[in-house]
Amino acid sequence: MSDLTGKTALVTGSVRGIGFGVAAALAAAGARIALHGLAGELEIHEAREALMAAGSPQVEFFDGDLRQPDRIAALMAAVEAWGGVDILVNNAGIQHTAGLADMAPDAWDQIIAVNLSAAFHTMRLGLPQMAARGYGRVINIASVHGLVASKMKAPYVAAKHGLIGLSKVAALEYATAGSKASGGVTVNCIAPGWTETALIEPQIEAAAKAHGGDREAGIAAMLAEKQPSLRTSDPSEIGALALWLCAREAHNVTGAAIPIDGGWTAQ
């Protein structure tokens, strides 16, 4: 179920965090990885070497500003020329917190562009090619905020709710593509809750310090309001689910938004 030999995966925002965790899981299963993200040469080099060490036969970096439709088109064309996108993981995202009345219109536009519109553009270009080959996987990294809301995050919540709706439409439109034998074409969302990445590490360190240096106690206190398990997820765990969704046996799992949130959205 985990053999992706001969498959090519584009994972946006994959030089670090959840995107890297997903890319590493796919690499370990033998997929070629189209690396993407905002990073310097050293970070790109280190990510590429790590993915090769994980098991990918080939890793190349592809640039592309996800705020610009023409740059997205160029990105997709470049990866198609490299071997074609069999697995598309829309992971890249940005965030800005402010009250609705104080949210700058430019911040709204940027967050919607990267977190929602970019996925529309990659999907509209990638899905027809997947259908023609009889196999394809789109995995959109949404968020618990695609299922429930929080204050101070209007554009982010709107984008993630929209991403789940967009994914359902695409899942329906491509439901008959391919076959059970080929694996078909599926479109799903993963909706992570609190996940340990560099982005939240300062918050974790501050919480641990407030609890006498006890990291687990600090995390539990930090998550108490939202995540009943009181445990964070690791990017590798998001990657493990993404890998399972890529299996041929998952051909009938489509249009789903699967939370990894310790019970947050069950409340």
Task: For the chain, 267 residues long, give each residue's pLDDT as a single digit of tens.
Answer: 589 999 999 999 999 999 999 999 999 999 999 999 999 999 999 999 999 999 999 999 999 999 999 999 999 999 999 999 999 999 999 999 999 999 999 999 999 999 999 999 999 999 999 999 999 999 999 999 999 999 999 999 999 999 999 999 999 999 999 999 999 999 999 999 999 998 788 899 999 999 999 999 999 999 999 999 999 999 999 999 999 999 999 999 999 999 999 999 999
Residues 112 and 216 in one domain: no
Residues 254 and 165 in one domain: yes
Residue 83 lies in a domain: yes
Q: What is the pLDDT, as a whole number, of residue 1? A: 59
Residues 144 and 220 in one domain: no
Tell me the C-alpha distance between 246 and 136, whole Å: 8
Residues 189 and 207 in one domain: no
Residues 200 and 255 in one domain: no
Asked if 187 and 167 touch (Cβ cutoff 8 Å), the reply is: yes
Residues 183 and 201 in one domain: no
Q: What is the pLDDT, as a whole number, of residue 204? A: 93
Global confidence as pTM:
0.97
- C-alpha distances in angstroms, 237 versus 12, 161, 199, 242? 18, 22, 17, 9
Q: What is the pLDDT, as a whole number, of residue 200? A: 87
Q: What is the dihedral of CA 124, 130, 136, 138, to 10 degrees?
A: -10
Residues 146 and 223 in one domain: no
Residues 101 and 211 in one domain: no
Residue 1 lies in a domain: no
Residues 186 and 201 in one domain: no
Q: What is the pLDDT, as a whole number, of residue 194? A: 97
Residues 77 and 172 in one domain: yes
Q: What is the pLDDT, as a whole number, of residue 205? A: 94
Total domains in the fold of the chain: 2
Residue 111, H or E segment: helix 105-112
Q: What is the pLDDT, as a whole number, of residue 186? A: 98
Residues 96 and 54 in one domain: yes
End-to-end CA separation in angstroms for the chain:
33
Domain of residue 207 covers 196-232
List, by residue number, the catalytic residues.
Answer: 156
Residue 13 lies in a domain: yes
262: left (phi over 0), alpha (psi -120 to 50) or beta: left
